[in-house]
Amino acid sequence: EGTTSNFEMGSTEQLEQHSSEAVSNGHKSDLEAARRLAKRLYNLEGFKRSDVARHLGKNNEFSRLVAEEYLRYFDFTGMTLDQSLRNFLKAFALMGETQERERVLIHFSNRYYQCNQGMIPSQDGIHCLTCALMLLNTDLHGHNIGKKMSCQDFITNLDGLNEGKDFPKELLKPLYNSIKNEKLEWAINEEELRKSLSELANDKTDSAGSRTSNRIGSSSNPFLDIPRDPNAKTYKTGFLSRKIHADMDGKKTPKGRRGWKTFYAVLKGMILYLQKDEYKPEKHLSEEDLKNAISIHHALAIKATDYEKRPNVLKLKTADWRVFLFQAQNPEEMESWINKINLVATVFSAPPFPAAIGSQKRFSRPLLPATTTKMTQEDQLKSHEAKLKQISTELTEHRSYPPDKKVKAKEIDEYRLKEHYLEFEKTRYETYYKMLEESGENPLQGIESDGNGMRKSHSSPSLNQESVPVNTKIKRNISERKDYRPESANNSKQKT
């Protein structure tokens, strides 16, 4: 009894403790406590608007109960999605970690679905549209310079994301016009928005449930995950050894996860499937196989010239800045994989969304949609050329104004990060433009297969590792570091 009364006083420490312990006790009082807290959060009794999201978005059972009870105070029946979202965002400040904000929006989507069953067929569809509206708002009303998203762009970006079908145009057009005519207002610290809404939500087991079975991607936001197309063509197959070099945003992969593993690789559509043991038809892919799959939209593959421990190694950098090393069986195979991966990314990658709104001093990468471009090959070539010119100009301007030596380390870090991004994007669009220009009318005609689909991976030719004496210390190449986020000014005295 005493614990509950203290808890109701709004003490954050008490709340943290209760959040983690309450449900494990399995008492009805947990639901009652959740109801009491939800009521106080809604009425802002002892809480500020900025406190609310933190208590709705934690990844535990008690927080889920609180969020469900909190959302019961909102009746969205008969309201359009944009009206409901405006109504919801006025009640509190949507801020906190990316994963927490994502969970809050998932709770909103679930409640909207409960109030309006039948209007949109699934919670996933509503969550997808909710995130799309937030991104559209950023595009139309943010600080970004350049062409704003048109209604047709908005519709095209959502193709196939309604349970595998398209959303009705008569649903999307009014949503677009609503956001265009009236900016979505929500109280949020702009610094908090540096990471986009659609980044990784690490917890695949939160209230959203796992989406890996029908979509491929590192994000829990279906707007940016790539739909698996069962009719996609297979462009290349064969054995590859993989080493994870950098995690999302170029953060160095922890040691225990950096080992080499051999897979049977299948490049199908915009997805590189990595299958254990043997080739399997797509319908037989295990959860593990899908987890290993890599979406190669907006990716770039190059020869890993800075990795000398093994031969025939290519480096793949993905849209979310993860980096993988792949060892092929010979130099020809390595070149073939590089060529096919880059060609698929070149032909199919849709134009990027703008970066999230943020403080002018903070750099944020634009969002790279996983949907397939709807452009003709000629327009795709023009789009790549325009992006290459834009990025080249930005890089020149960026280098013209280096930070003053007296500025804070944080600002130097931001400068380096943006330079790192622009350099990579320039290389990527140079590659895309050149490939598409030289590829002829049907660049991806002719499906390549090694014809040995059912071979076991342990029977594959060994992927030679150059022998290194056990006691020899291998000096890591300086250039290898370029794949990670640039070192912060605090930790590095090197000049870049």
The conformation of residue 471, written as its DSSP 8-state character, comes to T
Number of domain units in the chain:
3
In a domain, 397, yes or no: yes
Domain boundary among 132, 153, 181: 181
Same-domain pairing of 36 and 154: yes
**Domain range holding 72?**
21-181
Q: What is the pLDDT along the chain (496 residues), one digit of tens a residue?
A: 333 333 333 333 444 444 444 444 445 778 999 999 999 999 999 988 888 988 998 888 999 999 999 999 999 999 999 999 999 998 888 876 666 777 899 999 999 999 998 778 888 889 889 888 888 887 787 655 456 788 988 888 787 777 778 899 999 999 999 999 998 876 444 333 333 333 322 222 233 333 333 445 444 333 344 556 667 888 999 999 999 988 877 888 888 888 899 999 999 888 898 887 666 666 566 767 777 889 898 999 999 998 989 999 999 999 888 899 999 999 999 999 999 999 999 999 987 765 544 334 566 677 677 778 878 888 899 989 989 998 999 899 989 988 887 888 888 888 888 899 999 999 999 999 999 988 877 777 644 443 333 333 333 333 333 333 333 232 333 333 456 666 444 444 433 3
Residues 66 and 135 in one domain: yes
Give yes or no: residues 146 and 229 share one domain. Answer: no
DSSP string, 417-438: HHHHHHHHHHHHHHHHHHHHHH
E strands, 351-476, are: none
Task: Provide the token pair at 193.
Answer: 């928005």
The enclosing domain of 341 has a CATH number of: 2.30.29.30
Kindly state the tokens that stand for 78.
Answer: 């008969």
Same domain, residue pair 68 and 159: yes
Q: Are residues 104 and 177 in the same domain?
A: yes
Provide the 3-class DSSP secondary structure of residue 294: strand
154 and 296 housed in the same domain: no
Q: Pairing state of beta strands 300-303 and 294-295?
A: unpaired
Residue 279 and residue 401 in one domain: no
Residues 327 and 424 in one domain: no
In a domain, 122, yes or no: yes
Are both 342 and 408 inside the same structural domain? no
Instruction: Tell me which of 158, 181, 204 is where a domain ends.
Output: 181
For residue 179, give the DSSP letter: H
Q: Is residue 457 part of a domain?
A: no
The angle formed by the CA atoms of residues 426, 431 and 432, to the nearest 5 degrees, is 100
